[in-house]
Amino acid sequence: MGADAVMAEHDDAAAAALDQLRGWDGPWTGLRVAVTGLGVTGFSAADTLAELGAEVVVVDAEATEKKQRDAETLRIVGVSDIRFGPQAVSTLPQIADADPDLILTSPGWRPDSPLISAAAHAGIPVWSDVQLAHRLGARPGAAQPQWLTVTGTNGKTTTVQLLEAMLIAAGKRAVACGNIGVPILDAIRDPIGYEVLAVELSSFQLHYTEALSATASAVLNIAEDHVDWHGGYPGYAAAKARIYEGTVTACIYNAQDPVTEAMVAAADVVEGCRAVGFTTDTPDVSMLGMVEDILVDRAFLEDRRHQALELGTRSDFAELAPQHMVANTLAAAALARSVGVPPAAVQQAMRDYQLTEHRIQPVAKAEDVLWVNDTKATNPHAAAAALESFTDVVWIAGGLPKGIDYAPLVQRVGHRLRQVILIGTDSSQLRSSLERHAPGVPVIGAGLREDETEKALRSAAGRTAMRTAVELAGRLAEPGQTVLLAPAAASMDQFDSYGDRGEAFIEAVAQLMQSKGFSTD
């Protein structure tokens, strides 16, 4: 037998062995697994694998204080091999003098990172925690949950939170998990089990995950994001589309985003699975949508050609609901209705829901100027939703751009902009788009020595830059305008996270209000 044939036979045998890794009684004992990253995902993965009897090594480039504490906890449960430092992630870790059988990666580990690239070269499978959870299912004796899965460029967290609230209002034992809330491996390890999992999935997780066979799945919208990680927009969109593969009951799509409908049309689903659209316009048959200010369902009822069920009204929201909030609610309602949640529970969730921090969050109003924190707008699509909620905007924007083209955003919202203040260590792409497509909009502000001010904003540490930006906005904003932080970029160039960036904005606004004698309460 030739060398190629031997290698092929070995690969077939390895694939067959991995295919047997299903359920809690599968052949996990002694399996060599490298877990990349000791964040929330990595911790839950290592803990789960240790319980299954696998030989686990955890690698992470950085040994923060929290990670050191988590490492000590893992050592107590039997994960003794935990390696920190750049050298630990530069190549495949050896486990008992052999390559791992499997890599369990945390979201965000790029396919071109040295360790993941080495695994691909060696033919070693790379799984997400979501795939491991799907393979395991609930513990023996616990309820096997239905999976309702959600992805999209924007709105995932809001949609999943609303979905969880709708399910609980209907009396179902449910939990939001995945890329939000409870780690999915913790959810499936619950000793009682859940009836339904409301699962938020990022494009990173989907990239490393097989078909999930969800009861219902949804892609909320698609726009350029994380194209650097995925090697371009097609790779990003393909990762998102994976959520529909194997769906059993309903593929939920955005009728106002043709890309999501095309994804459903191309998906390999279970026979009988339905395509169900949502729209903020009047819905067609097999859709959810709006009739004036009423949210209605024309999909999950028998006489859907001639009738519609009222799910609630716009006035049911505790706070003013922007258009994208209504769309997210309709998507959540479609998922909930697919598992029998009654209209009354949908309406109750709408009434109880509170907007999350950092998403179109008003933080102050003084001198007829509204200050709004939307730091969670880490890409142009999310920023557009925020900017279109207001008419006259002093826009604080910029940060780590992720290889995105800003021209469509500026063309779409340029007429709403009155001033732009750029933060971030390199916002040259956004500045260039503003100069080309909104040349009449001042950037930084006329008469403020723009070159020196922008240089200071680029070079300053995050909180110093934000204070400067807020002080500038306070000088520039006129009565009736909104100062909006909607960066359209990631935060890691100057901040620890988008939340850290939002808190810096809130703190700076509070300081400005205090200096003027106003309160932010």
Domain ranges of the chain: 26-127, 132-352, 361-516
Classify residue 109 as left (phi > 0), alpha (psi -120 to 50) or beta.
beta
Q: Is 155 annotated as a binding residue?
A: yes
**pLDDT tens digits for 453-463?**
655 565 567 88
Whether the CB-CB separation of 137 and 187 falls below 8 Å is answered with no
Fold of 132-352: UDP-N-acetylmuramoyl-L-alanine:D-glutamate ligase (3.40.1190)
Fold of 26-127: Rossmann fold (3.40.50)
Look at residue 426 in the predicted model and tell me its pLDDT: 84
Look at residue 499 in the predicted model and tell me its pLDDT: 87
Residue of 182 and 289 predicted with greater confidence: 289
Residue of 497 and 336 predicted with greater confidence: 336
**pLDDT tens digits for 222-252?**
886 666 666 678 888 999 999 999 999 999 9
Look at residue 445 in the predicted model and tell me its pLDDT: 47
Look at residue 3 in the predicted model and tell me its pLDDT: 43
**pLDDT tens digits for 249-283?**
999 999 999 999 999 999 999 999 999 999 999 99
Fold of 361-516: Protein-Tyrosine Phosphatase; Chain A (3.90.190)
**pLDDT tens digits for 386-435?**
898 888 999 999 998 877 889 999 999 999 999 999 998 888 899 999 99
Q: Is 520 annotated as a binding residue?
A: no
Indicate whether 10 pLDDT > 50. no
Distances (CA, A) of 366 to 4, 158, 336, 394, 396: 73, 28, 41, 15, 18
Distances (CA, A) of 95 to 32, 35, 99, 173: 6, 12, 6, 40
Q: Is 480 annotated as a binding residue?
A: no
Matching residue, tokens 């680029």? 458
Whether the CB-CB separation of 477 and 394 falls below 8 Å is answered with yes
Q: What is the pTM of this model?
A: 0.74
Average pLDDT, the chain: 89
Share of the chain above pLDDT 90, in %: 65
Q: Is 158 annotated as a binding residue?
A: yes
pLDDT band at 216 (very low <50, low <70, confident <90, very high): very high
Query: What's the mean pLDDT in 149-178?
Result: 94
Look at residue 356 in the predicted model and tell me its pLDDT: 63
Q: Is 440 annotated as a binding residue?
A: no
Closest CA to 304 of 288, 293, 290: 288
